[in-house]
Amino acid sequence: MQENGEVQIENFIVDILKSKLEVGKIVNTLEEAYLLYCQYAHDKGFSVRKGEQRCFSHTDELQSKEFNYSCEGLKDEKRSSKKISIYQKLLTRTNCKAKLKISRENGGQWRVSRFVEEHNHEMFARNQTHLLRSARNISHAKKSTLEAMVNAGISVSAAVSFMENEACGSENLGFTRKDAYDHMSQLKKHIKVENGDATALIKYFINTANKENYFYWNVQLDDDDRVMNFFFRDYRSAVDYENFGDVLSIDTTYRTNKYNLICAPFVGINHHMQNVMFGLAFMSDETEIFPHSHNRLCQWHINQNAPSHFGSLNGNLAFKQLWYKYMTYCESEDEFEATWKHMIDTYNLDDHIWLNGMYRLREKCATAFSSGRFSAGLLATSRSEATNMTLKKACNKMSSLYEFVMNYAKIQNNWRNKEKTEDTRCRHGKPAQILKNHPLLINAAEVYTISIYQLFEIELVNSLNCKFVEPPSCFGNDWNWLEVKVKSHDEN
């Protein structure tokens, strides 16, 4: 009975709205007519879009305006057959003739001149109409709330969830999550690159490419011929990538130019454990695709963010130890799973949303899942962050793109000089050895750079599970000053 009553009320509202749309009815403004037709359409179960309009002869003053069903008309097969699209859109056009047309005499009032009620398609259910495009709109007040929450560090998803709860359901919010993401993305759109700056930058790329055969650059423009993205690298960067490109660090958290473009240095580690640049990109968004790579998240950032989700467990040392073991110190996937289960069971965390999310990302953040992949010891994006900070010091928010690229070239040249200096040091000197006369280390000192040798030596010493004491005389001079004493389990 209650359901029937609700249907009767809905039908009653539709009839009232319909009576206001009858031919000959007066409307005060175009906006009033549009909103009235939208309200009628949403109660009926269809969406509205603005259609054709006509002006009085020899003027820009409107004489008539149409509002149509959003899927009226048919797909233009002749136009679409000229090219094959990678992404095939759904067919939504039904050639429905439903519409509202309002007209007026010169200087007269707006009146309904045509109202077509009939539809040739199924209507949306009542619980779906809030998803219709013409039913969705982010009001100024809700935009302000959304922006304030995101600027305070709250994710768009979490902000929308909060606003849905405040509105007593997503159907009452007035917009969808996609609308919220689109709005926040639009706010981050870069400012139009000045013509002189873009011209100077492209001229520099062209001149450099003419001088250096292997210099590569590429610029992408948007529909308004604005610079959206650009990337460049010289021949030396290509060689460095060939030699050291097994591990690539990218940090896109900084926007260090006046156009609000994302600065993305592509950073690696060379044979001296120094930063090396593979190229530089400026992007209008963070969409990057590396289809054949194994992607890892930055453990440092995760651990910095983790305490905000731990609540009362922040003061529990045993829990913290389990967390760090879970992230970094499990040597196998089985040990990882056992640690996870122990942590969850011990602290009753089965329903912890953030931890469950981290578990789903375990292959991208926990070292237990990447032990078989070379990472050069890199667990964080600190290499890229340090690079960004160097670039930030060399430039400021008012630097043009051309100035930024010039400063980047100076920094890169400085890094390459440091690499030459270290190359010279390695050619004319050998590292001091902890383990004297060890055949493996003797060979390592010949083939490794000093920095890499020191890392290798420490790894070897740790693998021996030993400590160094004064040598007893029975070992003779061949052992020099070293005695190896195996530690007991108690000493570990």
Q: Please tell me the predicted confidence (pLDDT) of residue 301.
A: 73
Type and span of the H or E element at 470: none
Token pair 């809700």 is found at 142
Backbone angles phi, psi at 241, to 5 degrees: -65, -35
Kindly indicate the confidence band of residue 341, based on its pLDDT and cuts at 50, 70 and 90. Answer: very high
Burial 461-492 (b: 16+ CB within 10 A, else e): beeeeeeeeeeeeeeeeeeeebeeeeeeeeee
Structure tokens given for 31:
């906006």
Q: Please tell me the predicted confidence (pLDDT) of residue 290.
A: 59
Identity (one letter) of the amino acid at 69?
A: Y
Identity (one letter) of the amino acid at 82?
A: K
Type and span of the H or E element at 118: none
Residue 278 near residue 240, CB atoms below 8 Å: yes
Q: What percent of the chain has pLDDT over 90?
A: 8
Displacement of CA 284 from its chain's centroid (Å)? 11
Rg, the chain, Cα only: 33
Give yes or no for residue 271 having a pLDDT over 50: yes
Bigger pLDDT: 299 or 253?
Answer: 299
Q: Please tell me the predicted confidence (pLDDT) of residue 224.
A: 60
Q: For the residues 459-465, what does the mean pLDDT come to?
A: 77
193 to 200, 224, 236, 283, 467: CA distances (angstroms): 11, 11, 29, 12, 61
Q: For the residues 322-338, what does the mean pLDDT come to?
A: 88
Give yes or no for residue 199 having a pLDDT over 60: yes
Give yes or no for residue 388 having a pLDDT over 60: no
Q: Please tell me the predicted confidence (pLDDT) of residue 257.
A: 57
Query: pTM here?
Result: 0.46
Give yes or no for residue 170 having a pLDDT over 80: yes
Q: What is the pLDDT of residues 413-441, one digit of tens each?
A: 888 998 999 888 888 888 877 777 888 88
Per mean pLDDT, which range of 38-47, 160-169, 186-195, 289-298 is the poorest?
186-195
**Cα 288-293-297 angle, rounded to 5 deg:** 70
Q: What percent of the chain has pLDDT over 70?
A: 74
Q: Please tell me the predicted confidence (pLDDT) of residue 347.
A: 92
Q: What is the pLDDT of residues 65-91, one digit of tens each?
A: 888 877 665 555 554 444 444 334 444
Question: DSSP character for 124?
Answer: P
Round to whole Å and give the CA distance between 218 and 231. 5
Type and span of the H or E element at 337: helix 333-346
Question: DSSP character for 351?
Answer: T
Token pair 């259910």 is found at 125
Per mean pLDDT, which range of 10-19, 39-48, 358-367, 429-438 is the poorest?
10-19
Domain residue spans in the chain? 2-134, 136-187, 195-294+380-419, 299-369, 439-491
Round to whole Å and give the CA distance between 476 and 295. 52
Give yes or no for residue 452 having a pLDDT over 50: yes
Structure tokens given for 350:
């089965």
Give yes or no for residue 157 having a pLDDT over 80: yes
Q: Please tell me the predicted confidence (pLDDT) of residue 344.
A: 92
Kindly indicate the confidence band of residue 291, based on its pLDDT and cuts at 50, 70 and 90. Answer: low
Round to whole Å and give the CA distance between 215 and 238. 9
Which residues, in sequence order, are CB contacts of 478 under 8 Å at separation 6+? 437
Q: Whole-number mean pLDDT of the chain?
A: 77
Token pair 């910095």 is found at 304
Round to whole Å and give the CA distance between 147 and 259. 20
Give yes or no for residue 488 having a pLDDT over 50: no
Which residues, in sequence order, are CB contacts of 373 under 8 Å at separation 6+? 294
Kindly indicate the confidence band of residue 338, based on its pLDDT and cuts at 50, 70 and 90. Answer: very high
Q: Please tell me the predicted confidence (pLDDT) of residue 343.
A: 92
Round to whole Å and give the CA distance between 460 and 156. 48
Round to whole Å and give the CA distance between 374 and 444. 19
Per mean pLDDT, which range of 117-121, 193-197, 286-290 is the poorest?
286-290
Bigger pLDDT: 474 or 38?
Answer: 38
Q: Please tell me the predicted confidence (pLDDT) of residue 216.
A: 92
Bigger pLDDT: 187 or 234?
Answer: 234
Q: Please tell me the predicted confidence (pLDDT) of residue 324.
A: 87
For 10, half-sphere exposure in the C-beta direction (CA atoms, 13 angstrom radius) is: 14
Residue 69 near residue 47, CB atoms below 8 Å: yes
Kindly indicate the confidence band of residue 239, based on its pLDDT and cuts at 50, 70 and 90. Answer: very high
Residue 177 near residue 164, CB atoms below 8 Å: no
Per mean pLDDT, which range of 59-63, 95-99, 186-190 is the poorest?
186-190
Q: Please tell me the predicted confidence (pLDDT) of residue 490.
A: 40
Residue 57 backbone zone (phi > 0: left; psi -120 to 50: alpha; other: beta): beta
Per mean pLDDT, which range of 5-14, 119-128, 234-243 is the poorest?
5-14
Q: Please tell me the predicted confidence (pLDDT) of residue 122.
A: 75
Give yes or no for residue 34 having a pLDDT over 50: yes
231 to 59, 288, 292, 383, 392: CA distances (angstroms): 48, 12, 20, 19, 18
Residue 71 near residue 92, CB atoms below 8 Å: yes
Question: DSSP character for 490?
Answer: G
Q: Please tell me the predicted confidence (pLDDT) of residue 236.
A: 92
Question: DSSP character for 115?
Answer: E
Give yes or no for residue 100 having a pLDDT over 80: yes
For 251, half-sphere exposure in the C-beta direction (CA atoms, 13 angstrom radius) is: 23
Which residues, in sequence order, are CB contacts of 31 under 8 Å at separation 6+? none
Bigger pLDDT: 182 or 76?
Answer: 182
